[in-house]
Chain A
């Protein structure tokens, strides 16, 4: 690898997006070339400058709603146009067959939907509450009651404020920095909110005791541009909310669950 190649690949190297062979060639060149090491240092300094949280622009909650509404309107218009082009299968005898099939599908889907809704309406309420809690914590500038990256400071802080001791794992080695804890109120009870951070993205983890069985699956949904993850542990229930992308937040949830 020469200096020109290095400058092409350096960015991807620092982003951890190179394959092993290229990494080895690049690192070999770095050990041999002082000029390229200086370029690397400059790139690292640039990344640090770009890491300033104040550079991140957070659109208002209304912005996401307006975009969603505009997309829905456009989709409806398009659907209306498409349905007017189809002459409902043409032949009269087939119309009855297809109408019956459509009816059966609608009834089945409706029944499943109602059953699912009854089961999940409580979870939907909680999802809505944790999302509101997350947004409120950012808007009001009241993200943490106890600002600390030390789990041995955050965990004892909840003593006397909650009737349970929330687990506060240290995930800093995996790239998830603990920045503090907060008391919040969800599902009719006070709960622990733990705040972790990656780059400029804040992650609220709402935790409170759970008396049912532990679930295998991490449930995921997105709302208003935020990702919401939920699972039940052996004795605690977890709700995680962030504007971080889905894959990374799933990694975080798996790291949290594995601790």
Chain B
């Protein structure tokens, strides 16, 4: 499935399926345009954690959007 053809409603629903800390990192980066350092300062976590949350959050999001059922499966086996 081509992600580029997705409707904003599908993307919004996928974002809502992400755990809060992953969603928070993605929203601060993609929508608010904060740098990794600024995100680390805002949510008070180390820089490495920001990098990891963004990487895993986006990978997870891509999984949900590529296959809508994926989100449910991933939710059951949420990475720590």
Contact = CB atoms under 8 A, between A and B. Distances in A.
Given A11-B55, A12-B51, A55-B8, A42 B33 contact: no
A216 interface: no
Contacts of B58: 11, 43, 46
Contacts of A52: 8, 11
Interface residues of B, number: 28
B8 A244 contact: no
Interface in A1-22: 7-12, 15, 17
Interface in B49-70: 51-52, 54-55, 58-59, 61-62, 65-66
A51 B6 CA distance: 11
Contact of B65 (A9, A15, A46): A46
B11 A49 contact: yes
Given A45-B2, A49-B11, A248 B61 contact: no
Contacts of B62: 42-43, 46
Contact of A199 (B33, B35, B61, B65): B33
A49 B6 contact: yes
Contacts of A15: 29, 36, 54
A15 B26 CA distance: 11
Given A46-B58, A48-B3, A50-B26, A55 B31 contact: yes
Contact of B51 (A17, A48, A248): A17
- Among A11, A42, A55, chain B packs the most CB atoms within 10 A around the CB of A11
B8 A7 contact: no
A12 B54 contact: yes
Contacts of A11: 51, 54-55, 58-59
- Among A49, A198, A244, chain B packs the most CB atoms within 10 A around the CB of A49
Contact of A50 (B30, B35, B66): B30
- Among A10, A43, A201, chain B packs the most CB atoms within 10 A around the CB of A43
Interface of A is mostly: helix
Contacts of B34: 245
B38 interface: yes
Contacts of A244: 33
B32 to A, nearest CB: 7
A47 interface: yes
A54 interface: yes
A200 B66 CA distance: 24
Given A8-B52, A11-B51, A12-B51, A245 B11 contact: no
Contacts of A46: 3, 58, 61-62, 65
Q: Enumerate the 10 nearest inter-chain pairs by beta-carbon distance, A residue then B residue, closest first.
A: A45-B3, A11-B55, A52-B8, A54-B8, A50-B30, A49-B3, A49-B6, A17-B36, A11-B54, A45-B4
13 contacts: A7-B55, A11-B54, A11-B55, A12-B36, A12-B54, A17-B35, A42-B66, A46-B58, A46-B62, A48-B3, A55-B11, A55-B31, A248-B33
